[in-house]
Amino acid sequence: MNDNAGRRVALVIGAGGGLGAALVRQAQAGQAGGPADAYQQVLALGRRTQPPLDYTDEASLAAAARWVAAQCAGSGAELRLLIVASGFLHGAPGQPERSWAHLDAAYLNHVFAINTIGPALVMKHFLPLLPKTGRCVAGFVSAKVGSIGDNALGGWYGYRASKAALNQLVKTASIELTRRNKDSICVALHPGTVDTPLSQPFAKTGLKVRPPDEAAADLLRVLDSVTAGDTGGLIDYRGEKLPF
């Protein structure tokens, strides 16, 4: 990244998760000894931060966005990187479906609330905070299993569909963001299989599972290297484009 005008701020939403926390650590490490384009301030938001951010309470997103705007204004900085690292696959609301016989409305409602509706509301309240000129990047952690073109195994109806919907939201938002700032970039990200509570029950023998800090460092490198030509795409941790 070569835009050195002003102080740059990075924001990670979903900072309480395994990958989100690692993204915060890696971005902060860049502050201390990273490349010249490191962000001078790294902000983190999640359900347990102050202010808290709760996808089921839009007022909390609006309040958190106002807080971020105030942080930037107070330090004369600009929000140049936004990463949304939240996600839900399994837990008390349910487990990913192996068959249509397992489809459950409560699980579907929850998985879409976290994986799709929440990030959509992030777009509503936080994308307007990105500057109208100069390079800025918004990255939304998605998943390869959300790719319709790549789906050869079936199963996981809710998770696949919620991430596919997120990919469409990212594509749509990228178009509006480009109209606002021609140098903006908005992408969906596939982090690979990361050793976090989200993936641990489903890690298969022989499947490459990577430590969160390694995955986070890879994603930050990808976000540092994407160009306007990548906007609206689904990109993996190696920088390769995946089909929608």
Structure tokens given for 137: 């990047």
* Per-residue pLDDT, 1: 42
pLDDT for res 34: 46
Fold of 7-242: Rossmann fold (3.40.50)
Look up the pTM and report it: 0.91
Q: Are 220 and 30 in contact (CB under 8 A)?
A: yes
Q: Per-residue confidence of the chain (244 residues) as pLDDT tens digits? A: 444 456 899 999 999 999 999 999 999 987 544 444 578 899 999 999 999 999 999 999 999 999 999 999 998 999 999 999 999 999 888 899 999 999 999 999 999 999 999 999 999 999 999 999 999 999 999 999 999 999 989 999 999 999 999 999 999 999 999 999 999 999 999 999 888 665 556 555 456 788 999 999 999 999 999 999 999 999 999 999 999 9
How would you class 71 by CB atoms within 10 Å of its CB: exposed for 0-12, middle for 13-18, buried for 19 or more?
Answer: middle
Residue 225: predicted pLDDT: 95
- CB atoms closer than 10 angstroms to residue 21: 20
Q: Per-domain residue ranges for the chain?
A: 7-242
Instruction: Show the tokens assigned to 30.
Output: 């860049």
pLDDT score for 202: 58
Length of the chain, in residues:
244
